[in-house]
Chain A
Amino acid sequence: DVKVTQSSRYLVKRTGEKVFLECVQDMDHENMFWYRQDPGLGLRLIYFSYDVKMKEKGDIPEGYSVSREKKERFSLILESASTNQTSMYLCASSLWGQGLYTEAFFGQGTRLTVV
């Protein structure tokens, strides 16, 4: 089974802290994504990566950065956490092969609260 693992289920951080959210997948997928999910707004793409050291901005990249030094690991960084970044963060991965995109698989989510 494909497994996407996020390092924490729940996090509480203080305003201004630098926050790291880690995601690891075990299926050698090229694509990895970070979404945030908020009531009434649905899932919104923050950043995605289609290869090691490659990244592209999603719809709401402001206040975030990412790092992908190894194929299996994709990190989301909140440079200076703010209360409006309190949210559920979801990591996903997918494979691009044989001219077709395959299923996207998601981690269990990290509920981040910034106080």
Chain B
Amino acid sequence: KQEVTQIPAALSVPEGENLVLNCSFTDSAIYNLQWFRQDPGKGLTSLLLIQSSQREQTSGRLNASLDKSSGRSTLYIAASQPGDSATYLCAVIKTGTASKLTFGTGTRLQVTL
């Protein structure tokens, strides 16, 4: 059974810092990995999707990398801002599971002034 772990569970950083969020998964047979953001009481917003054949994806200040062989992905946030405060979730689609996402438990990020 695929298990997805995110470390740390919570993180507080001052504005302007660069930071890295980690996601690890136990089964490397995945189609893709997706990073989401969730604000309190809201739905999930898609940030980046990495297909299994790709190594990384970039969008603005966000960069996500994928290392299938080691079962790891990282989300890099450059020059953090208070508006980045949210919970960040990673999810994988395992090969042969008909596009079902398996989620990690998330990293709660607070960026302080």
Contact = CB atoms under 8 A, between A and B. Distances in A.
Interface of A: 4, 6, 31, 33, 40, 42-43, 45, 48, 50, 56, 58, 88, 90, 92, 94, 96, 100-109, 111
15 contacts: A42-B106, A43-B103, A45-B101, A48-B100, A58-B100, A101-B31, A101-B99, A102-B49, A103-B34, A103-B46, A104-B46, A104-B99, A104-B101, A106-B43, A111-B41
Interface of B: 31-32, 34, 36, 41-46, 49, 51, 89, 91, 93, 98-101, 103-106
Contact of A50 (B45, B89, B98): B98
Contact of A42 (B42, B43, B98, B103): B103
A43 B44 CA distance: 11
Contacts of A6: 43
Contact of B99 (A42, A94, A106, A109): A94
A100 B106 contact: no
B contacts with A: majority SS: strand
B58 to A, nearest CB: 15
B41 A109 contact: yes
A108 B42 contact: yes
Contacts of A100: 31-32, 51
A contacts with B: majority SS: strand
B32 A101 contact: yes
Contacts of A33: 100-101
Contact of B105 (A31, A42, A48, A107): A42
A102 B34 CA distance: 10
A39 B104 CA distance: 13
A37 B93 CA distance: 18
Contacts of B91: 43, 104
Contacts of B101: 33, 43, 45, 92, 104
Contacts of B103: 42-43
Contacts of B93: 101
B98 A109 contact: no
Contacts of A43: 89, 91, 101, 103
Contacts of B43: 4, 6, 90, 106-109
